Amino acid sequence: MQYQDIDTIVAKNDGELSAAEAHGMAAGMLCVNDRTELRFWLQELLKDADDISDEDRSLLEDLFEDIKNLLAGDEFAFELLLPDDDFPLNEQVEALRKWCQGFLFGLGSTSSTTDSTPNWSEEIREVVKDIAEITKLDSDAEDDEAENDFMEITEYLRAAVIFLRTELNSADNRTVH
């Protein structure tokens, strides 16, 4: 699935979000509860959208199912939906920041609302704190070191998402949406 295609759909239906945020939101929701329903994600994603075309809805549905399947798979094939390497590094970093914001929103919107502080282990809290810190990245750096840092952070996030999905989908942490 191409970043630009999803970004166009999301921007057309809610100009405040990006494809990265939409992907992060779905991943966050599915990390907390792998039974999160598509309609819940679409409701959160398209709050201000009056009408979405069947073609656009179908692409978003495919994206959600793809995320769900990759997170559930054993091959560690999950990837963040970010702009390709053809894009300037500052745009890639900005998308990474937005992905993390969407992910944190997805975690929060799917976590139990009965307790203001979810009953998460220290390891889970540390990973979530790390992801929150990534939202503060400076997107102005444009050298080889910044590019390497970007790649390392992206790999860390992939591993963090798989870890969170495994830990948060235990029976005592699950909520149904």
What tens digit of pLDDT does each residue of 110-133 get?
775 434 556 788 999 999 999 999
Residues 6+ apart with CB under 8 A from 108: 28
What tens digit of pLDDT does each residue of 11-59 get?
887 667 899 999 999 999 999 988 899 988 988 888 766 678 889 989 9
The CATH number of the domain covering residues in 3-173: 1.20.120.740
pTM comes to: 0.89
Q: What are the residue boundaries of the structural domains of the chain, listed by start?
A: 3-173
Integer Cα distance of 128 and 140 in angstroms: 24
Largest interatomic CA distance in the chain: 46
